[in-house]
Amino acid sequence: MRYLHTMVRVKDLDASLDFYCNKLGLQEVRRTESEKGRFTLIFLAAPEDGDRAKTDKAPLVELTYNWDPEDYGEGRNFGHLAFEVDDIYGLCDKLQKSGVTINRPPRDGHMAFVRSPDNISVELLQKGDSKEPAEPWASMGNTGHW
C-alpha cells in the first residue's frame, strides 16, 4: 500500500489556488475537469516532492471544486494537512502579511497552524531544530479555535 493524496473540497478555486500555491508554495501537478460531473480536480505537490510527483510517487493534496455550490459544513473529524518547512517564522510572516489566519503562532519556533480559505487547518513544522524565539511571535497567544 502507498499513500496517494488527501482530498479537500473547496468553495472558491481561485482563492484556494492563491492560498495553497502562491502563499503556501505548493505546485500544481495536474488537473481534471468533468463536464458530466460538473467538478474540477487539481492535484498539488510540495516543492520538494515535485519531481517525485511527475512519476506519481509523491503525496499530494487533491482540491475538489464542485461547480454547483454546496454547503460543506465543518467536519470536525478532519484534523489538518501538515507540511515540513525550512523557515517557519519567515513563512508565517509572509502568510500573515498576505492576510492568512495564523491560528497557532510559531512562538516556539517549531510548530504553527494556519487556515485555508475553507478553514482547513494546515500545520507547519520547522525542518530540523526549532528556530530561536522571534518577536512578535514569541509573545503571541493562539488566535482561534482548534
Ligand X SMILES: C[C@@H](O)C(=O)SC[C@H](NC(=O)CC[C@H](N)C(=O)O)C(=O)NCC(=O)O
User: Out of 62, 87, 93, 108, which residue is the one contacting ligand X (CB under 6 A)?
Assistant: 62
User: Out of 2, 3, 6, 7, which residue is the one contacting Ni ion (CB under 5 A)?
Assistant: 7
One-letter amino acid at 24 equals: L
Binding partner of residue 66 among Ni ion, ligand X, none, CB cut-off 5 to 8 Å per kind: ligand X
Give the binding-site size for Ni ion (rule: CB under 5 A): 2
Q: Is 41 in the site for ligand X (CB under 6 A)?
A: yes
One-letter amino acid at 85 equals: V
Whether 70 is catalytic is: no
User: Out of 12, 15, 47, 64, which residue is the one contacting ligand X (CB under 6 A)?
Assistant: 64
Stretch that binds ligand X, among 61-69, 75-83, 84-92, 134-142 (CB under 6 A): 61-69
Residue nearest to ligand X as judged by C-beta position: 39
**CA atoms of 76 and 79, how far apart (whole Å):** 7
Catalytic, out of 33, 123, 132, 135: 123
Closest CA to 28 of 46, 10, 4: 46
Owner of C-alpha cell 526549532: 130
Q: Which helix (H) or strand (E) holds 66?
A: strand 60-66
Q: Is 94 in the site for ligand X (CB under 6 A)?
A: no
Q: Given the DSSP bridges, would you call strands 111-115 and 102-104 parallel, antiparallel or unpaired? A: antiparallel
What is the grid cell recorded at 130?
526549532
Q: Is 7 in the site for ligand X (CB under 6 A)?
A: yes
Work out the end-to-end distance of the chain between its first and last CA atoms, rounded to an integer number of angstroms.
Answer: 31
- Contact set with Ni ion (CB under 5 A): 7, 62
Which residues belong to the active site?
A: 123
